[in-house]
Chains A and B, each alone.
Chain A
Amino acid sequence: MPVTRKDVEYIAALAKLRFSETELDSFTGELNQILNYIEKLNELDTSNVEPLSYPVEVSNVLREDKRMPSVTTQEALRNSPDSTEEFFRVPKVINVE
């Protein structure tokens, strides 16, 4: 199932990335090459195989629900590109078209 340039544009939109025309072309080629390689998994019959999410399988890991020290608001804001004294500041959320 070859990936078209339109598919790549759609995936880029999902991933919140923007590409130039030439980048879109090269990504389309590369993704097809990689996906073509990945197709080889279809040689394997996995109809009766349980998926494996984590290689070391453990059951639920629980802990007591108690309050623990955490970073302060000031510390949490230290790496922010833009903030007030208490909040992260971002551009307008609602876009009036």
Chain B
Amino acid sequence: MTSDSTGYKNHIEKTAKLKSGEISLKENVRYFLERIKKHEHLNAFNFIFDEDALLQAEKIEEKIHSGTHGKLAGMVIAIKDVLALKGKPLTCSSGMLKDFTSLYTATAVRKLLEEDAIIIGKTNCDEFAMGSSNENSAFGPVLNPVDTSRVPGGSSGGAAVAMAAGLCDLSIGTDTGGSIRQPASFCGVLGLKPTYGRVSRSGLTAFASSFDSIGPFAKDISDIALVMEVISGRDSFDATSARNEVPEYSLNLDDITVSKGNYSGKPRIGIPKEYFSEGLNEEVRDVIKGTIEKIKSQGFEVRDISLPNTPYCIATYYILTTAEASSNLARYDGARYGFRGPKSQTLKDMYVDSRTSGFGKEVKRRIMLGTYVLSAGYYEAYYRKAQKVRRLLKNDFDRAFSEVDLILTPTAPTTAFKLGEKSSNPLEMYLNDIYTTSANLAGIPGISIPVGNDSKGLPVGMQLMADQFDELTIMKMCRYLDEKI
């Protein structure tokens, strides 16, 4: 896959062309800035850092020519507006934070900058990353570039669109229940949600702390591999960040062989029957089944498996994430930062006025649900119960990964739906995450790979999940699919 007219298909090619002088980094950044302007109607960006980006381009170009550049030199990256970048606005697409400026830089973003990436802007998203359509944004909805009457998915809709419309080399989103994978599926790009704790959450505005993950969107898996090498790893600012060694993902993509226990060979692939039952659109099913047949014909061992507790994912997910959100969002009280109701006479009124005017409807709905499930008398029945079911769901995956190396499913039950189609029914909107919340509940990595289109020409995404910290097998399979299938 090549971008429209950048002239390179991934960062490896870009680096070579920058080194040989075939392309100028400043021109390249200008190209993206013009393209962003030309695609303003998609509403993918909340903020564009044109001056900074051009200035950085000049500096990094010099580094490239003197051979002192970092791994991501000149990679033009857009970041979701829930990630902190010092001195820049951080709004979470919320009226609550419309005037907030970051005091520090998120660890993942800092690592990108240290390797000489260029941050071109911050992308639109659902408010506080809560939504599956990017319609819940104080900056207005994002449009899907494939069909502008349709949603791009959410919550990282802007990041997915920035990638799909060729407005950057790579974008960074966050995924709490599918917020990277579902928009990647709707827009036809790659989107990886890493293992929980693989990437530090420091500087990511908290939504549901035991679910939130930061990950990349790209068009080529080698770019995802390279960026994951950079942003992964232990960070003293996030106690839940993992100490596990970070593999050299980008150097190991071409060998499809995996070794686990006493098994060595091509990844064994499990197809969970629960992900192909009612509710799955037939055209999506056909595209996925077609891909499975092609994989089989390449000599992969593909077997049917069962994840029996799948029907309980959405309920478990919405109890736990809204509970965590209601707690995390208690900090927005109008006292120290964020929106403050202008006329409040007492402290208590200030809290209520600020929160009532500052938050949008979906955020309030989730705070209400979360407050309810945590309230006295209901804690055991809802919250504790859901934590126990979370264990059962994780056990399902542990069992499955003792037999297979990858689990293959559709990413979403449908292709991109129309703007406004589901915004009046919250439960129906929640059910859109039916195949993606499981990876967050179990803390495992998952990717959405574009594998075809429906009869309307809308992209269909296929999800591959692997065991915790086995991003590499996902990436290898992705490379294999790209080259051989």
A-side interface residues toward B, CB under 8 Å? Answer: 3, 7-8, 11-12, 14-19, 27, 30-31, 33-35, 37-38, 40-42, 44, 46, 49-56, 58, 61, 63, 71, 75-76, 78-82, 88, 90-93, 95
* B346: Cβ under 8 A from any A Cβ: yes
**Least Cβ distance of B353 to chain A in Å?**
8
Residue of A nearest to B395 (CB): A49
* B49: Cβ under 8 A from any A Cβ: no
Residue of A nearest to B238 (CB): A61
* B338: Cβ under 8 A from any A Cβ: yes
The CA of A55 and the CA of B197, in the complex, are separated in Å by 9
Q: Known contacts A34-B430, A55-B443, A79-B338; can you find 9 more A-B pairs with CB under 8 A?
A: A33-B426, A42-B385, A46-B392, A51-B384, A52-B391, A53-B387, A56-B196, A82-B340, A92-B346
**Known A54-B210, A88-B335: A34·B394 in contact at CB below 8 Å:** no
Instruction: Give the secondary structure class of A's interface.
Output: loop
Which of B315, B353, B355: most chain A Cβ within 10 A?
Answer: B315
Interface residues of B in 413-449 (CB under 8 A from A): 426-427, 430, 440-444
The CA of A81 and the CA of B103, in the complex, are separated in Å by 16
**Known A55-B196, A78-B101, A81-B334: A95·B346 in contact at CB below 8 Å:** yes
* B240: Cβ under 8 A from any A Cβ: yes
Task: Name the 3 nearest CB pairs between A and B, nearest first.
Answer: A55-B443, A51-B387, A81-B340
Chain B hits for A8, CB < 8 A: 368
- Is B427 in contact with A33, judged by CB distance below 8 angstroms? yes
Chain B hits for A93, CB < 8 A: 346-347
- Is B443 in contact with A44, judged by CB distance below 8 angstroms? no
- Is A81 in contact with B389, judged by CB distance below 8 angstroms? no
- Is A41 in contact with B389, judged by CB distance below 8 angstroms? yes
- Is B375 in contact with A31, judged by CB distance below 8 angstroms? no
Interface residues of B in 310-368 (CB under 8 A from A): 311-312, 314-316, 318-319, 326, 333-340, 344-353, 355-356, 359, 364-365, 367-368
The CA of A79 and the CA of B338, in the complex, are separated in Å by 7
- Is B372 in contact with A90, judged by CB distance below 8 angstroms? no
Which of A17, A33, A37: most chain B Cβ within 10 A?
Answer: A17
**Known A41-B389, A46-B392: A90·B196 in contact at CB below 8 Å:** no
- Is B195 in contact with A31, judged by CB distance below 8 angstroms? no
**Known A41-B316, A44-B392: A71·B368 in contact at CB below 8 Å:** no
Residue of B nearest to A77 (CB): B336
The CA of A76 and the CA of B101, in the complex, are separated in Å by 11
Chain A hits for B353, CB < 8 A: 18
Chain A hits for B334, CB < 8 A: 81
Residue of B nearest to A44 (CB): B389
**Least Cβ distance of B84 to chain A in Å?**
12
**Least Cβ distance of B452 to chain A in Å?**
31
**Known A49-B391, A71-B104: A34·B196 in contact at CB below 8 Å:** no
- Is B101 in contact with A56, judged by CB distance below 8 angstroms? no
- Is A92 in contact with B345, judged by CB distance below 8 angstroms? yes
- Is A38 in contact with B240, judged by CB distance below 8 angstroms? no
A–B complex contacts, Cβ < 8 Å, 28 sampled: A3-B372, A15-B355, A17-B359, A17-B368, A18-B352, A30-B426, A31-B368, A33-B426, A34-B430, A38-B382, A46-B385, A49-B389, A50-B388, A54-B210, A54-B240, A55-B196, A56-B196, A58-B242, A78-B103, A79-B100, A79-B336, A79-B337, A79-B338, A82-B340, A91-B349, A91-B350, A92-B345, A93-B346
- Is A90 in contact with B347, judged by CB distance below 8 angstroms? yes
**Least Cβ distance of A58 to chain B in Å?**
7
Chain B hits for A76, CB < 8 A: 103, 336
The CA of A76 and the CA of B364, in the complex, are separated in Å by 27
- Is B427 in contact with A58, judged by CB distance below 8 angstroms? no
Chain A hits for B311, CB < 8 A: 40
* B390: Cβ under 8 A from any A Cβ: yes
The CA of A42 and the CA of B312, in the complex, are separated in Å by 10
